[in-house]
Chain A
Amino acid sequence: MGRPVAIIGVGQTKHGRRFDVSYPELVKEAVDAVFEITGIDPGDIDGVVSGTMPSMMEGVALTHFYFADVLRSVGKPIMKTETCGSTGASLAITGYYWVASGMADLVLVVGSEKMNEGDSQATMTTVLEPFYQRYFIAGAPGIFSMQSQEWSVRFGIPEEKIRAAATKLTIDHHKDAFDNPYAHIKKELTEDEVNNARIITYPVRLWDVCPNSDGACAVIFASEDKVRQMDRKPAWIKGVGYSGEEYWFGDSDKVVWQSAIQASREAYKMAGITNPIEQLDVAEVYNPFTFQELLFYECFGFCDFGKACDETLKGTFARDGKLACDPSGGTLCTNPIGATGLIRVSEAALQVTGQAGDHQIPGAKLALAHAMGGVDQYNAVLILGSEL
């Protein structure tokens, strides 16, 4: 176990279609915000971590060099971390490790994406090799639909019930997003609109799927010594868990899903969590697809396998429920993919420090942040708390 580490400040851009700025200018917005909020002098930063999804998203490789000036990283060590959709969570873990190891006291961590500048689904097709698997589960929806379909059949969940639960999730999240000043898609949806929307991969329809967003997020990780020198509320990193999968999509079970289960249990163990639904106050679950969000609730032990739809329909995971999930609107409303996991971590930090504004969960002290990457290949979970 390393030294205690806290998040001492977060900065986000307004996420959305951001053709008003170039990509480095977008990153600068988030970096400037975190320095302004914390009052930290960029010269005091010991190292910088930067990450995006695969570089062909915007057609520029090694973006951490492209962003060197706006990251204020000149003359400092800089690392890039990249784990597809979970990049942001991996960035946070990289920053955490750097400070926990004692090798740095202040680390700037930045995730970004400009998904509207390229073809996001074409980019994602390149996550798989072209010999065997690429053609059949290209992009994101096919993979996640197959996974959800197997889940529904294995646990005998009627399609109508899944539809109803997914519809409630998307209506709630898109409504919650109105209270998040940084969220991309904010919309009052009706059940009819959701249930009759265009099919993407049956039974997944348009409002079950996250948007393409442009955005960046910057977070400063600090050692305990630095935290004590500052007059700011820290969000302590209480637990970290992450787990990868075998390559071949057909080799392992994606329903009782090893990497999601293991990542959460590692993080719980480190944070001393034995009963997540009772102990956690808020969870920022990576939810690019409504159907997958339901499965994550089960993999994380928020409820038993096969029960997420019932619990969702009861309101267990709503903002005023037992465990508020994605009160920010989540990935479903905002997905600048290289930043998305870091936004989950940032939202968790804002919640446990009482700074989440209109979507604050009153009195939140312990929060979960999560992201998933690749073709169901990787899961990362962080637990953040208000107390060390």
Chain B
Amino acid sequence: MDTKKMDYTILKDEIAIPYELAMGPTWTRFFEGFKQERIYATRCPKCKRVLVPARSYCPRCFVETDEWLEVSQEGTIVCWALTEYEYFAIPIKPPYIGALIKLDGTDTNFLHLVGGIDLSDPEYVRKTIKNGMKVRAVWNPEKKGTIMDIKYFEPMK
């Protein structure tokens, strides 16, 4: 900050508030699955959509979704964005690719990362990553029961 140009005082302030955020039974069970390298969905008894990540109720039919099923760790890229910007308090450092991935046999798109390729050259990424491309989950060896237990989805050969 160039204070030379400023006539008036600026107060520097920071607020850090710790939180304890309850996951509830459905999300707890979903992330327990991650520890075993499994991805779980729930199926809506009414519209029959397979929802991933697992939900406790269908957001369209408003009925409980208590049928659990393990879904494929393979899917296709629906859309993606290569991010070159570092965000405060986000553990993922640029460059990275955020993507919607349609896991095989599911009816919603799962948001995660696409990786396992050289991300340093946007032109190379653009030529390599395509919508409809098949990808597969790559797990981190150490599991914490969080979304980052999946390292990323990598393009399949």
Contacts and interface: CB of A to CB of B under 8 A. Distances in A.
A260 B138 CA distance: 36
A298 to B, nearest CB: 17
A180 to B, nearest CB: 24
Contacts of A41: none
A214 to B, nearest CB: 13
Interface residues of B, number: 42
Interface string B75-87: 0001111111101
A149 B80 contact: yes
Contacts of B7: 20
B71 interface: no
A62 interface: no
Majority SS of interface residues in chain B? loop
Contacts of A153: 79, 131
A268 to B, nearest CB: 26
Given A19-B8, A135-B92, A135-B148, A250 B109 contact: yes
Contacts of B125: 202
B133 to A, nearest CB: 11
Given A119-B88, A121-B85, A131-B23, A146 B109 contact: no
Interface residues of A, number: 40
Contact of A200 (B78, B84, B113): B84
Nearest to A254: B79
A136 B113 contact: yes
A138 B87 contact: yes
A247 B79 CA distance: 18
Contacts of B68: none
Which applies to chain A's interface (DSSP): helix, strand, loop or mixed? loop
Given A131-B27, A136-B112, A146-B98, A59 B85 contact: no
B126 A202 contact: yes
Contacts of A203: 122, 126
Interface of A: 19-20, 56, 59, 119, 121-122, 125, 130-139, 141-143, 145-147, 149-150, 153, 159, 198-203, 246-251
Given A119-B88, A121-B85, A131-B27, 15 more contacts: A19-B10, A20-B8, A135-B90, A135-B91, A135-B92, A136-B98, A136-B111, A138-B90, A142-B81, A149-B79, A153-B79, A202-B81, A202-B122, A202-B126, A246-B60
Interface of B: 6-8, 10, 13, 15, 21, 23, 27, 53, 59-60, 78-85, 87-92, 98-100, 108-113, 122, 125-126, 131, 146-148
